[in-house]
Structure 1
Amino acid sequence: MNQIERLERLPLRDDLRGQHPYGAPQLDVPILLNVNENTYGVPQDARDAILKAVDDVLAGLNRYPDREFTELRRALAAYLGHGLAAENIWAANGSNEVLQQILQAFGGPGRRVLGFPPTYSMYPLLASGTGTEYVSGARAADFSLTAESAAKQVRELAPNIVFLCSPNNPTGTALGNDVVEAVYEAGSASRTVVIVDEAYAEFAHDGTASAIALLPGRERLIVSRTMSKAFALAGARLGYLAAAPEISDALRLVRLPYHLSAITQATAVAALRNSDSLLANVEQIKIQRDRIVAGLAGMGLQPAPSDSNFVFFGGLEDPQSIWAGLLASGVLIRDVGIAGHLRVTAGTEAETTAFLTQLAVLLGH
């Protein structure tokens, strides 16, 4: 009896039968450029600060942590600026848990969430896990999304929740705030909660607007962020959001007790106090990202403009063989299941060189 057959013997919810869990390949290769991690790692001064902060809380691990993670919320508000205060902030174990809590509070049976694929593949899984109907909206042929198109779809479908991923994963392109404003207004009659997922915001080109600027006066608007990418803390699992204070009040109704450990809180606060050091590599990553875009274009491929730390590119006749050829040379990138396309994370200069060099070999350049 195989694993699927054993699973089918359990009284699993009907809507989960046949579903597959999220998961990128976890392979042991020298160069990992498939899950958009910050490959530079944590600088030594930040490591020292985190170690001290964690050591300071170890004596109290027999007690529950601050349920309201007050110090962390203050630190996150200060980092974001825009006049935000602690009451505008919520956090959880990665932005996926933040999004899950939002769906638990505002989604559920009989409610629907609208996404615009290709986009982050966790959105339909989060919907399924919370019993929320997931509806796929439409993008243009070049994967862009205009304010007019998005607003029209929201008015027609009247979803309870909308996901807007900006910069979008896997395409890497940022949305203009005009799209966010149009979607928010279009959802007024249906009281639609609008989530702008800005997991990669720190990598955006200068002048790219954040939806955080739109928060005042919009109680149904939520902007989610993460410390996994720009802060190089994917292993720490800390995601957060900025929104009207009543959003946090709603999430308190569904969060698990003491959901953020004292160690997680201490790690995140120490990292925020060393944000200059941790974010110093962001500019280096952006340089490598732009180098990848230029290099791919020079090979006759079609890279999408990227405001993230990865590049989505098309023009491949056989992306699976390219993916396999790169893997055989020790470079793991991501096949996102879109015909003719692959996605690669911008790593260090050496990692980028290895990727571009081997890709050129595989393409016969």
Structure 2
Amino acid sequence: MTSLSDLPIRDDLRGREPYGAPQLDVPVALNTNENPYPPSEPLVRAIGAAVMAAAGSLNRYPDRDAVALREGLAEFLNTDTPGAGLTGRRVWAANGSNEIIQQILQAFGGAGRTALGFEPSYSMHPIITGVTGTRWINAFRDEDFGIEPEAAVRAVEEHRPDVVFLTSPNNPTGTALPLDAIEAILAAAPGMVVVDEAYAEFRRAGTPSALTLLDRHPRLIVTRTMSKAFAMAGTRLGYLAADPAVIDALLLVRLPYHLSAVTQAVARTALGHAGELLGSVDALRRERDATVEWLRGEGLRVADSDANFVLFGTFPDRRRVWQGMLDRGVLIREVGPPEWLRVSVGTPREMDAFRDALKTAIKESK
């Protein structure tokens, strides 16, 4: 049989592994940062009705530019960040934030161009960078997983990247960036600056969004997703806010009719029920903060988190701890710096199971 190595794939793809967190059938899955609360029955019926309405015209192509959806997303962002002043003309949507990132790199990256990020961070940034033929540069984070503005500016001035990725709150650490750090990088960057705010709805009170900087910085892009706080991971809907000229650039690389009529219908229905879907955010924040406190009480190191997950450690053999928890039906993520693990915040019952499994796994790993 033919193997991958026998095919004439690009040389830079040889030896790579596909991205993916383990998808295992376990009683407690806390490894992919999903919102653990499913849509209510009334919302399920509303989504079903919207899909049924869309089904009647599936013989026709969908709205190519998703105009109504983009207007709805702009309205939501204006509510989330008062004063943002966004319109549909300044918002773009795609199949998950990963396609958003891919389109950005297709438009502003590519052969002979570079993208710079500060790892540990979202692992798909360098992966998509490489897939688009762009060279990745890692400028690294501080020991506390933050970004020191002066050091970041020096890295930008040294490498002159075409795209800079900033993740706030950061994945996998949960660390949020202050706006002055973002603005310092914007002032130094010669190209585009992308602030990935996939977990922004979970940020602690008083933590601002980079959306407030858009009017002053035409090369700033702020990305969001409906996969996390909106509890719509299965919908695959990511979006961004930027200057209208940025949207024009993305139109050059987007595939025709990239968002199906069904995806648009589901996403618009979800936006119409945003209050319900985001109703669990406060509870998840409280559970996150309680988890941080408990982990520190157990003598573990914990990164401050503005997201719906917690990075904790350190373990001489994190795989043994991870496996010990999996053996007890609790799946967390082996990701980020060596010796650290990450847990997504689940329901109170799931977090009770997490604590019991972790205590036992740590004891048995010694």
Structures share fold, TM-score greater than 0.5: yes
How far has the Cα of 1:142 moved from its partner?
A: 2.2
Aligned mate of 1:18, from 15, 19, 27:
15
In structure 2, C-alpha distance between the alignment counterparts of 1:339 and 1:69, rounded to whole Å? 42
Residue equivalent to 1:38: 35
Whole-angstrom CA distance in 1 between matches of 2:88 and 2:194: 19
Residues 29-178 of structure 1: matches in 2 within 5 Å? 29-81=26-78, 82-178=84-180
* Cα pair 2:31 2:344 within 8 Å, conserved: yes
In structure 2, the residue matched to 1:201 is 200
Counterpart CA distance in 2 for 1:214 and 1:336 is 31
Secondary structure (helix, strand or coil) at the match of 2:184 reads: helix
Partners of 1:42 and 1:204 lie apart in 2 by 22
* AA aligned opposite 2:270: A
Partners in 1 of 2:336 and 2:158 — Cα distance? 29
CA distance in structure 2 between the partners assigned to 1:224 and 1:43 by the alignment: 27
Q: Which amino acid in the other structure matches residue 10 of structure 1?
A: L
- How far apart are residue 363 of structure 1 and its match? 2.8
CA shift at 1:217, angstroms?
2.6
**TM-score normalised over the length of structure 1:** 0.96
State the TM-score, normalized to the length of structure 2. 0.96
Q: Is the 8 A contact 2:172 2:336 kept in 1?
A: no
SS in 1 for 2:92: strand
**Structure 1 residue 337: deviation in Å?**
5.0
Return the alpha-carbon distance in structure 1 between the equivalents of residues 304 and 201 of structure 2. Answer: 16
1:205 positional shift: 0.4
Partner Cα separation in structure 2 for residue 41 and residue 297 of structure 1 = 30
Question: For 1:277-296, what per-residue CA distance to the aligned partner results, in whole angstroms no more than 9, with x for missing partners?
Answer: 00001111111111110111
The CA distance in 2 between the partners of 1:74 and 1:362, in whole Å, is: 48
1:46/1:278 contact within 8 Å kept: no
Within 2, Cα distance between the matches of 1:150 and 1:43?
44
Structure 1, residues 78-130: CA drift from partner, whole Å, max 9, x if none?
00001100000000000000000000000000000001110001111101110
| 1:230 alignment partner AA | A
How many residue pairs are counted as aligned between the two chains? 359
**Where do 1:256-275 residues align within 5 Å?**
256-275=255-274
What CA distance in whole angstroms lies between the structure 1 residues aligned with 2:271 and 2:186? 31
The offset of 1:53, in angstroms, is 1.2
Q: State how far apart, in whole Å, the 2-side matches of 1:333 and 1:218 are.
A: 38
Gaps (5+ residues) in structure 2? 79-83
Amino acid at match of 2:63: D
Correspondence for 1:224: 223
Residue pair 2:115, 2:137 contacting (<8 A) in 1 also: yes
Aligned to 1:28: 25
Q: Stretches of 4+ moved more than 3 A in 1?
A: none
Root mean square deviation, CA, Å: 1.2
Q: Cα distance, 1:162 vs. partner?
A: 0.4
Kindly provide the amino acid, as one letter, of the partner of residue 74 in structure 2: A
Show structure 1 runs of 5+ residues with no match.
none
Percent pairwise identity: 54
How far 1:233 moved relative to its partner?
0.7
Q: Distance in 1 between matches of 2:243 and 2:34?
A: 30
User: Which shifted more, 43-52 or 207-216?
Assistant: 43-52
> Following TM superposition, by how much is the alpha carbon of 1:315 offset from its aligned partner in structure 2, in angstroms?
2.4
